[in-house]
Amino acid sequence: MPVLAGLAIPANTPDPEQAKALVKYMMQPAQQVATLPGHQLLPGDRRAAA
């Protein structure tokens, strides 16, 4: 499972809209809850920490 310490979109990405959609998806509380606790990291969204 990937560990995300930060999210970024490279300036020369071939499909910026798809990249933005992925970042938006990964920032959802449900995705943070599924990804981060297994790596002893805290979610960036307070709704996910509840």
pLDDT tens digits along 8-27: 899 999 999 999 999 999 88
Measured distance CA(39)–CA(21) in Å, rounded: 24
Q: pTM above the 0.85 mark?
A: no
Confidence category of residue 33, pLDDT binned at 50, 70, 90: confident
Helices (H), the chain: 16-26, 29-35, 46-49
Residue 3 pLDDT exceeds 70 = no
Residue 23, both tokens: 């970042």
